[in-house]
Chains A and B, each alone.
Chain A
Amino acid sequence: MAIFLAIPILGLMVIFQSAVFSQVQLLYGTTDLVLIILVAWSVQERVTTAWHWGIIAGIMASLATAVPAYAIIPTYVVVTGIAIYMRRVFWQRPLLAMITAIVLATLLSQVVTVAVLVINGTPIPVIEAFYLITLPSVLLNLLLAVPAYALMGDLANWLYPETIEI
């Protein structure tokens, strides 16, 4: 059930990202809704389908960008791993895990994107890109991190209800 839900939810996020949020810019940075939702889902305690969501998110995102799919899909899988790792490290502070994972995931995805584009011959000034795109993107993603965590928490509680041992 949780795996099947990933397709409409992440698909909707890609549509929102492409149609609306890619035009809402801070300097030249934008939010990455798919990444935020993926991280918010992966840091939930009882979620067992995070890896599946990571692969689906990568495939969905690769459909809406010119960044090569061989860079996007592994990046989202690694982002899932980062979120799961943060959940284990900050198991008593899930919101801290979420925020840390968002910062690391955003930095990772943008570094990978820049690296792949530069390797493919696109002239990107790395320092300028870091200040004008990466840092504002991190800030925007952090702004949406808390509401996304709450939303995905509700979804996780609905899909994985807490079992009480008597």
Chain B
Amino acid sequence: MNLPRTFQTAALAILIISILLLALGGYLTPISRIAFSPFISAQTWLASRYMAIRDFMTAPRDVARLTQLNEQLEAEVSRLQAQIIELQQQNSELEVLSALLDFARTHAENEYITAAVIGRDISPFLHYVIINRGSDDGLRRGMPVVSSQGLVGRVAAVTADGARVQLITDPDTAINVRIQPSGAEGLLQGSITGDITIETIPQDAKINNGDLVLTSGLGGNYPPDMLIGQVSGVRQSPVELFQSASVEPVVDFSQLEIVLVIVNFRPVNIGPLIPPPEAP
């Protein structure tokens, strides 16, 4: 068996090349699978144990870091949520103020003072709101109060820093109104439920749902042509002297936040002009 060295080398080369060719040809796959399988299994077992041990060693540190990070993120989320709410509120106020500004521009003949609604009458029978402007700001009793939608009411009482506004929904309210397009006039009255109705509309007046209700200016308590609402229902009976109508106000009184007080309007007291009843 003393083969020359060159022959041994050549045989070895042929063997390697043959193995490579067999491997490339795919003939050694079953053999390699059997040969490598124990190694792969062993390596898998070892690697999984190593990963488990590494996780065990490093996990507490990660939990602490994650907890800290989570707290930071939660604080950030809370801060951003508060910021969103604040921005939404500012946006809402901006929209209201913008609408009020538009209203003031379209009614340039009036002078306005802006006031915030800060409270409501504590009696459930009455419909008043309290605003944060008073006699120090030039408010006087009887001044009309409006919002960007329409008529809100009028100033009923004034202190130095605040005022009480009687809403048009108050049961004690009585406003002379005109219904458009018919031009019929009537007396608008509030109620304890906040519903408003027009009484004493002449029987021959043509009133339809959707007709506009405006102040007529009669009586001198309110300026004329202030929008109040729309007719939402008409009640007519041939046996009655007048017809009446329900009104849907344009102002949402439950969402009233900012109002405008018309400060250059002075109500007219027509009391002395009304003749006293004659004694029998």
Contact = CB atoms under 8 A, between A and B. Distances in A.
A23 B121 contact: no
Interface centre among A17, A61, A66, A128 (most CB of B within 10 A): A66
Contacts of B101: none
B118 A19 contact: yes
Nearest to A62: B122
A14 B122 contact: yes
Interface in A1-35: 14-15, 17-19, 22-23, 25, 28-30, 32, 34
B62 interface: no
Counting chain A residues whose Cβ lies within 8 A of the other chain, the interface size class is 20 to 34
B interface, how many residues as a size bin? 20 to 34
Given A128-B193, A132-B193, A133-B125, 8 more contacts: A15-B119, A34-B122, A65-B122, A66-B156, A66-B157, A110-B125, A125-B192, A133-B124
A22 B120 contact: yes
B189 interface: yes
B130 interface: yes
A121 B194 CA distance: 18
Interface of B: 118-126, 128, 130, 156-157, 164, 166, 171-172, 189, 192-194, 254
Interface string A110-154: 100110010001111100110011000100000000000000000
A124 B119 contact: no
Contacts, number: 78
Contacts of A128: 192-193
Contacts of B130: 18, 64
Given A23-B254, A122-B172, A124-B171, A65 B121 contact: yes
A66 B192 contact: no
A22 B119 contact: yes
A89 interface: no
Contact of A66 (B124, B128, B189, B254): B128
Contacts of B121: 18, 22, 64-66
Contact of A67 (B118, B123, B156, B254): B123
A133 B171 CA distance: 14
B126 A67 contact: yes
Contacts of A121: 172
Contacts of B157: 66
